[in-house]
């Protein structure tokens, strides 16, 4: 057991080591563990980062997930990327959403949790001093996958339509992941097989697995005109092939969407000077949300 922030005891600590230290300018007001929904008796939380000075009235729902795992370690790694600083310094309010982990929830359930966060941010927009019609969505890696799917998949209940979407190196096609099917075997101690089904892959036919993987693939779920989307991906990403962003970009454009795909030459997952690229994405968000 470890003590968490805000005096809350952290019972389960991720097996992943903290790779990116939470280096931050700290130019924001932070609300820790704000509950936005409940699932099976489990509180779903987000940390809210508000600008110190007057905000610009725009909110960003930032989906925090690495390898489909969400906790304080992942959030601190995410802060280390620099996105919170870049957006808050421009006046955005950032809702850093923890959508749950594959140890407890399927990918489909995590997407529903992102939908719940969008509904909550929009419903309480006056309290947060944001425009509910000008919400942005952000996500990196597995968080980018969930953010993309939450934006594109047809929800069963009303979900505010994001006005702009920014994604860092997201998996987008689990059926064809670099010329092969995505590896749903256990990775870094996490049962990725539960992304598709609560009980894992055992007992499910190959066709059932393919059908579920297709439904969990953003590049295969573009059913309507998508919001403007900014994709950032390294050409040498060893975890998620660049082709994954290229596939999503092609699908979005085919549906009439505006897409900017920025490829970082030699960039990995992520890369050392990514803060400069995040700053450019934040400027793009500012321009897009002004048009909303």
Q: What is the pLDDT of residue 20?
A: 52
Q: Which pairing describes strands 2-3 and 9-10: parallel, antiparallel, or unpaired?
A: antiparallel
Q: Alpha-carbon distance 126 to 123, whole Å?
A: 8
Q: What is the pLDDT of residue 4?
A: 43
Kindly list the distances between the CA atom of residue 85 and the CA atoms of 81, 250, 278, in Å, as whole numbers in the listed order.
9, 30, 10
Counting DSSP H helices and E strands in the chain, the numbers are: 8, 10
Per-residue pLDDT for the chain (292 aa), expressed as one digit of tens each?
Answer: 333 455 666 666 554 444 555 577 778 999 999 999 999 999 999 999 999 988 999 999 999 999 999 998 889 888 988 999 999 999 999 999 999 999 899 999 999 999 999 999 999 999 999 999 999 999 999 999 999 999 997 766 789 999 999 999 999 999 999 888 888 875 656 667 889 999 888 889 999 999 999 999 999 999 888 999 999 999 999 999 999 999 999 999 999 999 999 999 999 999 999 999 999 999 999 999 998 7
Q: What is the pLDDT of residue 24?
A: 79
Q: What is the pLDDT of residue 3?
A: 36
Looking at 44-141, list the stretches that DSSP marks H as alpha helix, in order from N- to C-terminal side: 72-81, 83-88, 107-123, 125-128
| Cα dihedral across residues 164, 44, 85, 148: positive or negative | negative
Give this prediction's pTM: 0.92
Burial (CB count within 10 angstroms: exposed 0-12, middle 13-18, buried 19+), residue 117? buried
Phi-psi sector, 82: left (phi>0), alpha (psi -120 to 50), beta: left
- Write the DSSP symbol of residue 190: B
Q: Cβ contacts of residue 234 below 8 Å, gap of 6+?
A: 169, 242, 263, 264, 266, 267, 268, 269, 270, 271
Q: What is the pLDDT of residue 153?
A: 78
CA angle 138, 170, 137 (to 5 degrees): 15
Q: Cβ contacts of residue 158 below 8 Å, gap of 6+?
A: 119
Q: What is the pLDDT of residue 190?
A: 64
Domains and CATH numbers, the chain: 31-290 (3.40.50.1820)
């Amino acid at each position: 057991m470890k003590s968490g922030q805000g005096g809350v005891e952290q019972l389960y600590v991720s097996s992943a080591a903290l790779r990116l230290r939470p280096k931050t300018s700290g130019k924001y007001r932070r609300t820790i563990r704000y509950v936005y929904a409940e699932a099976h008796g489990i509180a779903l939380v987000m940390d809210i980062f508000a600008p110190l000075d007057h905000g610009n009235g725009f909110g960003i729902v930032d989906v925090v997930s690495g390898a489909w795992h969400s906790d304080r370690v992942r959030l601190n790694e995410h802060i280390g990327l620099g996105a919170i600083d870049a957006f808050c310094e421009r006046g955005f309010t950032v809702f850093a959403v923890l959508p749950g982990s594959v140890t407890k929830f399927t990918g489909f359930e995590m997407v529903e949790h992102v939908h719940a966060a969008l509904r909550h941010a929009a419903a309480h927009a006056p309290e947060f001093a944001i425009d509910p019609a000008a919400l942005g969505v952000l996500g990196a890696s597995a968080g980018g996958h969930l953010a993309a799917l939450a934006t594109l998949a047809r929800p069963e209940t009303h979900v505010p339509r994001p006005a702009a979407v920014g994604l860092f190196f997201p998996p987008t096609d689990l059926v064809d992941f670099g010329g092969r099917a995505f590896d749903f075997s256990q990775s870094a101690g996490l049962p990725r097989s539960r992304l598709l089904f609560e009980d894992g892959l055992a007992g499910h036919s190959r066709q059932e697995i393919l059908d579920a993987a297709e439904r969990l693939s953003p590049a295969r779920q573009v059913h309507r005109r998508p919001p403007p989307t900014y994709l950032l991906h390294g050409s040498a990403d060893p975890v998620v092939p660049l082709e994954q962003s290229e596939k999503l970009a092609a699908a979005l454009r085919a549906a009439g969407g505006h897409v900017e795909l920025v490829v970082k030459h030699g960039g990995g997952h992520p890369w050392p000077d990514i803060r400069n690229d995040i700053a450019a994405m934040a400027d793009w968000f500012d321009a897009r949300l002004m048009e909303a």
